Amino acid sequence: MLLHDTALVYGRYLRQSLRSRFGLLFGVLMPLLYLVFFGPLLTGLPLGGRGSSWQLLVPGLLLQLALFGASFAGFSVIVENGQGVIERMRVTPVSRLALLLGRVLRDATLFVFQAVLLVLAAVVMGLRAPLPGVLVGFAFVAVLTVALASLSYALAMKVRTPQEFGPTINALTMPSMLLSGLMLPMTLGPAWLDVLSRLMPLRHLVDAVRDAYTGAYATAHMLYGSLVAVAFAALAVTVGTRVFRTAGA
């Protein structure tokens, strides 16, 4: 039943995404701008990584795509709450978990698709990375999306208005981006900043994907990155399901 319901909810929202061609591509725009206008600045700089500057930047941009895209996913739930669509679904026997999972899997599909576009553009710009590493990168995009979108939907069910939702998400995503070293590796900075950034879960995902892009898979970064990603996603889905189950207060 969970599978049936999840597939149903997934299909509904995937069709919704496909109807909006603009929305389908728009998420790629910001990372694409970084790629084109910021990427070339890094080419000659000593960044301390093993590969080229592209192997360092593109993993950051991929996770940035997921960070900003998935964190704002909850906006759709605010709109649907206003229309009564969520309540209408919650009075049917549909699994509460499926109402969440169908949506976050749609988001994962969408952002992996955008990630593919971004990597193709990066290849044109000069990125060279091993295929398994690139695939690992997409997997991290998917898991991070599942985690952040779950939390975003949970928050949207709680706050109910875009006026509360938007600023809250902004206040959370900006420090996450800066402290995780998405743009430049934190090892370039002073020790206190490096230490602080290790407290940011996203930092470990970025390190893992950067390793993958240089073809290094059996590393401590990869282990921590995977553990953090999976644990974060499990926690986020649990929180999200709880909110979807008891929502309405």
Partner 1 sequence: MAIISTAGLARTFETKRGPVQAVRGIDLTVREGEILGFLGPNGAGKTTTLRMLTTLLAPTGGAATVAGHDLARDPAGVRRACGYVAQSGGVDGQITVREELVTQGRLYRLPRARAAERAEELARDLDLTGLLDRRCAALSGGQRRRLDIAMALTHRPKLLFLDEPTTGLDPGSRAGLWDLVRRLRDEHGTTVFLTTHYLDEADALSDRLVVVDRGVVVADGTPSALKREHGGSADASLQDTFLAITGRGTAPADPTPVAV
Does residue number 161 form part of the binding site for partner 1 (CB under 8 A)? no
Of the pair 85, 117, the CB lying nearest partner 1 is at: 85
Output the CA angle 74-18-13, nearest 5 degrees: 45
Pick one of 131, 191, 218, 249: the residue that binds partner 1 (CB under 8 A): 249
Does residue number 248 form part of the binding site for partner 1 (CB under 8 A)? yes
Quote the longest CA-to-CA distance of the chain: 59
244, 99 contact by CB (below 8 A): yes
- Write down the least CB distance from residue 14 to partner 1, Å: 12
Does residue number 164 form part of the binding site for partner 1 (CB under 8 A)? no
Binding residues with partner 1: total (CB under 8 A): 24
Rounded Cα gap, residues 180 and 204, in angstroms: 8
Does residue number 158 form part of the binding site for partner 1 (CB under 8 A)? no
Distances (CA, A) of 133 to 2, 48, 130, 140, 218: 32, 19, 5, 11, 12
Pick one of 22, 91, 131, 191: the residue that binds partner 1 (CB under 8 A): 91
Of the pair 90, 198, the CB lying nearest partner 1 is at: 90
Look at residues 213, 161, 157, 221 and name the one whose alpha carbon lies nearest to residue 187: 221
Does residue number 4 form part of the binding site for partner 1 (CB under 8 A)? yes
Q: Residue 161, exposed/middle/buried by CB under 10 A (0-12, 13-18, 19+)?
A: exposed
Does residue number 163 form part of the binding site for partner 1 (CB under 8 A)? no
- Write down the least CB distance from residue 176 to partner 1, Å: 28
**Which SS3 state, helix, strand or coil, does residue 129 take?**
coil
Site pattern 14..53 for partner 1 (x: CB under 8 A): -xx--x----------------------------------
Pick one of 14, 85, 159, 196: the residue that binds partner 1 (CB under 8 A): 85
Q: Residue 179, exposed/middle/buried by CB under 10 A (0-12, 13-18, 19+)?
A: middle
Residues that bind partner 1 (CB under 8 A): 1, 4-5, 8, 12, 15-16, 19, 80, 82-85, 87-94, 246, 248-249
